[in-house]
Structure 1
C-alpha cells in the first residue's frame, strides 16, 4: 500500500508542492495501521491454516510460532515503509542507507544472542527482526524531525491528512493488489511443492531457487526505486522527455546487469548447489534448475524495473490487472499442469511461474512502450488544477461559513448590548406617560 507514495509524493516533489509530501506520508501511516489488525489474526492462526492446506504439522507449528512473535514487528511496517518512500521520493538516500546499516549492526548480534544464548530459538529470531524494524523507524523518524533537508516537507496538518485518505487509497489498493498477486504466486509455488511425493527434496530445491532470485532481486529493485522516483519527479515537474529518458536508462541497466549475473550463475551450475547443501541429490537437482533460474533472473529484473515505472506513473491499477492475468490465469495453472499432470515436479512449477513473469514483463513493456509521456504530464497537471480548484472552493466555503458565524456572533452581541438599552428607554417612556 505504501507504493502509492511513489506516485503521490514523487509527483508532488517534482511539482515543488513540498507540503504534500508530509501530508501523504502521515496519511499513509494512518491508513495502513488498521490493515495490520486482520493480518495479526491471520498470523495467530497460521499453524492451523498451514495444516489445513496440507503442510507438515511440525513445520506448520514452527511457522505459526514465528508468525505470532513477529507481530510486534508488523506494526513497524506502516511507519517504516512510509518513511522509506518519503525519503526515496526526495532522493535522500544517505539517511536510509545509514539507518539500514545501523539496524543491521544491531540485528546481527541481537539475533545471534537470542538464538544461541537463550532458549527462545525461532522466537528469538522473530523478536530480533521486529526490534530491528522499530530501530530503523526511530532513526528515520529522528532524521525527518530534526534534519533541515526535511524542513519544507515534514509539515503536519491534521485536517489535510484525513482529507487525503480517499486519494491515497485510490493508489494504495491497486498497489497492494499489484504486489501481493506477484508475491503470493511464489508462496503458492512453495505450498504446491509440499504436496509432491518427495516434498522435502522438492521444497529444499525450490527454496534454494527462491533464495537466489530473492537475493538478486534486491539489485533490480533498487533500479526500480530509482526509476520510480525519477519518472514521478519528472512528470510532476512537467518534463516528459526527461521521464522517457529515465525509463530508457533504467531499462538498459535492467538488461545488462541480470545478463552478467545469469552468465556467472550458469558457469557455476555444477558447484552452486554446494553453497546450500552437501547432499548430492540436492546439488544435482539444483544443477538441472540453473538454466531456468538464469532466465528467471533476467525476467525478474525486467519486470521489477517496469513495475517501478508503473508505480511512478500511477499505473498501479494496470499493474494489478497484468499480474492477475500473468500469474493466475497463466502462470499458476501452467505450473499445476506441468507439475502434476506431466509429472515434471518442481521443474514444472518453476516453468509455470517463469511463464507468468515473462508475460508480466512483456505486457508492462508494451504499456510502457506505447505511453504518450506528454499526455501523462498533461493528465497530472489537470489533476493538480482540479485539486487546487477544489481547495479554493473549500476555502471559499469555509470563509463564507466563518463570515456567517461572525455575523451571527455580531448579531448576538447587538442583542446583548442594545436590547437592554431599548428596554430601559421603553420603561422610561412608560413612566413619563403615567406622570402625565
Structure 2
C-alpha cells in the first residue's frame, strides 16, 4: 500500500469483484477486524464503493486498539488520529445467511500507507512470512465451539440433541458450503446447547480468517432459527465452556514434519523444536489465547481445557496434545488452553513466534505426560493477571509483536482486570456472555 501501483492493482481487482457480487445480489460489503479484547468490529460499504475501499481504505480510528470487551477504553485510548481499514479481497465471500451482503477480512494501515504497527492480522502474516524464510510452512485450523439458547436439550454428544436441531445444523452446513468453506466435522458437544465445528486446515492467516467467517455464519444462521449463539469462554461459572483449540502442523517441501522423524512419536527434530518453543511460551501465550477474565473460569482441571503446561499423545487434559492421525499427513498438535474469546490473529501469530524461537534454539520437548497431569505437571496461570505477568516477561513475544502491539495488549488486559475486579463469577459471565 506504500506505492500507487499496489493501490491501483487492488482497485482493479475490487472493480471486477464488485461487478461479480453485485450480479449475485450483493448490496453491501462488510470489512471486519478483531480488537485486542477479542471482539470483532466492522465497517461496511455499498458494493459500488468497494473499489474505493480497496484503493484507499475505510476510516477506522486507532482508539479501537484500546477498546475493552464492554466498549469502554483502556487509559491509553486516545480520540486523536485515524487509520485505513483495507479489505483483503482474497477472502471476499458472499454471505449465504445474510442476503445482500458480502464479507472480507481487513488489514489496518496508516494514513501514509504503511502497515499499522498494532494490526493483529499483519502480525500473524509477519510470523508466517518469517517461517517461510526458513523454508517452512504451517497448516492450521481453529475449532469453533458455541452454545445456543433455546436449542433442544439432550445428552453430551447425543443423537437427541442433533435430531432436535437438525434443521438448524443443516442450514449451517449449507451456508458454509455456499461460502466455499470445507467442513470436516460438526457435532453436539459436552454442555447442553453446545456444538463444535472443525474445518479443513489452511495457512495460518487464512485459518484465522475462516474462524471469523464460521462464527459470523453461526450467529446469522442461529438468529434466523430464533436462537442466540455465544462463543464466550463460559456461559455458566461452573460449566464447561467454549474452547478455541488451535490445530497446527509444520511442513517443509510438501512433507508433514510431524511424522517420519526420530523424535517423540515420529516428530522430526524441527517439529519437536517448534512445539517445544510453543510449550516454553505457553504461560505468556495465554494472555493472547485466553484473554478474558472469564477465560480462567474455564481453565480448571478435569474439564479437558488444558490447564497444565505439559504435552502428551492424545492427552486431552494436557495443554499441548499431540495427534498422530491415521495417515501421515494428518499428524498435528492441538493447543487446548485457548478459547473463543481470543483474537485469532494474535493467537496464531503468538504461537508461530514461539515456534520460531524454539527452532532457533533447537529446543527439545520435556518428558511426556502420559496420564492425568493434575498434581503431576505445572499448572498454567490460573488468572488473567498471572498470564499478563508472563507476557511482560516474554522477550520472544515482545520482539515478535513489536512494542506498540505488545503494549496495547497489556494495557487492554490490565484495564479489563481492573474493570472486573469486584465482580462475582456470575457477574463476569453475564457481562461477557454475548460479547463474543
What range describes the TM-score normalised by the shorter chain of this pair? under 0.3
Higher strand residue share: 2
Q: Which structure has the larger Rg over C-alpha atoms?
A: 1
Higher helix residue share: 1
